[in-house]
Amino acid sequence: MSAPGFESPGQARLAVRCGGIDFKNPVLTASGTFGYGKEFDSLMALPALGGMVTKGISPKPRFGNPAPRICETAAGMLNSIGLENVGVEGFASSKLPFLRACGTKVLVNFFGTTFDEYVSCGEQLSQLDGVDGLEMNVSCPNIKAGGIEFGREARVLGDLVRACRAVTRKPLWVKLTPNTSDIVALARACAENGADAVSVINTITGMAIDAQTRKPRLATVLGGLSGPAIKPIALRMVYQIHRSGLGIPISGIGGIQTGLDAVEFLLAGASTVQVGTQNFIDPASAERIGREIDDYCRQHSVSDVSELIGALELPP
Amino acid sequence: MLRGDWGRDPLLPRPISLLSVAPDGRADLLARGVGRGTRLLEAAQPGDRVAVLGPLGSSFPDPEPETIDLLVAGGVGLPPLFMQAEHAAKRGLIDRCELIYGGRSARDLVLLAEMRALGVNLHLATEDGSVGRRGRVTLSLEARLDHHLSSARFSRLRIMACGPQGMLWAVARIAEAVNRECYLSLEAHMACGIGVCLGCATPVHDSRPYRYACCDGPVFLASTLVIPPTSDPPPRSAG
């Protein structure tokens, strides 16, 4: 048996191109659920991944929020980590050397707390050798605009994407927030301002309360919901963006636990998928999901996984 | 980290301490069915499949010939201290440690015969007085510290504890008052167990504000931890 992405006669071609990057298979790991890659090195074969997206990087290191930072919910979890990370310099010196040799494509997720921080962070990261692409996290609160997420308003998002586009030649992806009434408008703002792909979706804002103590279960009260509970919403958003005809490639994220979950996202219109919360439950799951996509293709006589992208059959 | 074949809900694996590991690699765990995950574990049948990622994290320091180790266990916090006592027994150092084990009531205290079989000097405490000394386990700890105060080895006495958070903070304050080295095994909400989800942030006195219970701990030197000021009522009297 060969690793996913390795072609041999009778096997499906799993390689895909998405957002300016060629991947050996469509399975990536999502930002914030896969550390800086090295944490998983002894638990799975990293070269079996299509790619990985690092923890979100900001210009300076951040220490994150007080505990409790996570809380389990029905078929999901809430988190409020606070974008803790080692900062651009720490990333370049202590994390990137390993990633350069890890055998898979590396996208670096990044963010700022101001417009200028986004631009400077994107610019610095785009100069680093070993970074195959950038993914903008636009779910960060805009401190100067009262803490509203940068990515919630199409006009602000479009300005931010355009500014970051101007400072990098690397593939630029934008991870959209689902906390919006019009996901297509956000995707359009990205497409019209030069983004190469959109990652859909980031976590959905939620909360949990302990009735016994009358207290919120997270120290910051609100957090981001992830896991299988959000899959139908993520699928719907991928589908809507794909159907809108914008033509921007989509990386689908939200509750993917199995190869069949991943195939559903491809059918809805995603070109790649990102495995997130499931990495916590089973650290080798992204590798397994790649194998299961391969199994699906063989069972359904799909010779090239790209045939599945947007191949949803709608009722007449 | 441990998870049964129980579908999507509850979603996350459970951080559970090892109680004992046999030479053939078979491991014993001790859990109380308090939440949904532990109740599912409690209902597990022989032959059920359980996914395990581990062992993970740090352990208590090795027993040494020249030390006195006071092992303080509160309720279901027993496993790492039981394992420590077993470790000491295997190294012929069981007389160098004492196990102080407390719970609300006699029915909360388990594995007493196994502990006696190890030959460990065992001090029991229950809040209702149904077995052992009446009162919290920290009262018994203070009594044992008084007992050892005049010993020549007192300067090499160490305290190791696992149990409810309030108990751990109380143990740390007692250790600080007598200026003895103290190690705490912490419990925290976590999703991954390998330093990735960053859910189990634990405040520390350091150049950075947090360490992680999963990979930097769960055992921490108490003096490195930010221990909140006491809000507990004074310990009830032994009478």
Tell me, yes or no, whether B190 and B98 share the same domain: yes
Contact B198 A81 (CB under 8 A): yes
User: Is it the case that residue B237 has pLDDT exceeding 50?
Assistant: no
Q: B181 and B113, same structural domain?
A: yes
Q: Which residues of A touch B12 (CB under 8 A)?
A: 72, 77, 280-281
Does A279 touch chain B if contact means CB atoms closer than 8 Å? Answer: yes
Residue B130 falls inside a structural domain: yes
pLDDT tens digits, residue range B145-171?
A: 999 988 888 889 999 999 999 999 999
Q: Return the ∠ at Cα A2 (arms to A282 and A254), rounded to 5°.
A: 35
Q: From the CA of B74, how many Å to the nearest CA of chain A?
A: 22
pTM score of the predicted model:
0.92
Amino acid code (one letter) for B159: I
A140 is catalytic: yes
Q: Distance between CA atoms of B73 and B137, rounded to whole angstroms?
A: 8
CATH for B186: 3.40.50.80
For A34, nearest residue in chain B (alpha carbons) = B196
B204 to chain A: nearest residue by CA? A66
Q: What is the pLDDT of residues A76-100, one digit of tens each?
A: 999 999 999 999 999 999 999 999 9
**Residue B13 domain boundaries:** 2-52
Domains of chain A, by residue range, sit at 16-64+83-203+224-308
User: What percent of chain B shows pLDDT beyond 70?
Assistant: 96
Mutate to test the interface with A, among B49, B53, B196, B202 (most CBs of A within 10 A): B196
Is residue A141 within 8 angstroms of chain B, CB to CB? Answer: no
Q: Distance from B103 to chain A by nearest Cα, in Å?
A: 22
Is residue A1 scored above 90 in pLDDT? no
**Contact A35/B195, CB-based, under 8 Å?**
yes
Greatest Cα-to-Cα distance within chain B, rounded to the nearest angstrom: 57
Contact between B49 and B5 under an 8 Å Cβ cutoff? The reply is yes
> Domain for residue B237, yes or no?
no
- Residues B35 and B133 both lie in one domain: no
What is the ipTM for the molecules in this complex? 0.91
| Chain B residues close to A280, C-beta within 8 Å | 12-13, 191-192, 196-197
Which one-letter amino acid corresponds to residue A290?
G
Nearest to A69 among B51, B201, B209 (CB): B201
* CATH assignment of A16-64+83-203+224-308, among 3.30.160.60, 3.10.580.10, 3.20.20.70, 3.50.50.60: 3.20.20.70
Same-domain pairing of B80 and B188? yes
Contacts of A40 in chain B (CB under 8 A): 194, 196
First-to-last alpha carbon distance for chain A, in angstroms, is 40
Q: Are residues B124 and B210 in the same domain?
A: yes
Q: How many domains does chain B have?
A: 2
Are residues B84 and B41 part of one domain? no
Q: Are residues B176 and B79 in the same domain?
A: yes
- Please identify, among B52, B77, B92, the residue that sits at the C-terminal boundary of a domain: B52
Q: Please check whether residues B155 and B83 belong to one and the same domain.
A: yes
The predicted structure's pLDDT at residue A144:
75
In this structure, the answer to whether residues B42 and B79 fall within a common structural domain is no
Residues with Cβ < 8 Å from B64, sequence gap 6 or more? Answer: B93, B96
* Whether residue B163 sits in one domain with residue B82: yes
Residue B238 inside a domain? The answer is no
Q: Do B7 and B39 belong to one domain?
A: yes
Quote the CA–CA distance of A183 and A20 in Å, as a whole number. 22
φ and ψ at residue B216, rounded to 5 degrees: -85, -30
Question: Is there a cis peptide before residue B13, judged by omega within 30 degrees of 0?
Answer: no
**Cβ contacts of A189 within 8 Å, gap of 6 or more:** A154, A155, A157, A158, A161
Confidence of residue B42 (pLDDT cuts 50, 70, 90): confident
Residue B232 forms part of a structural domain: no
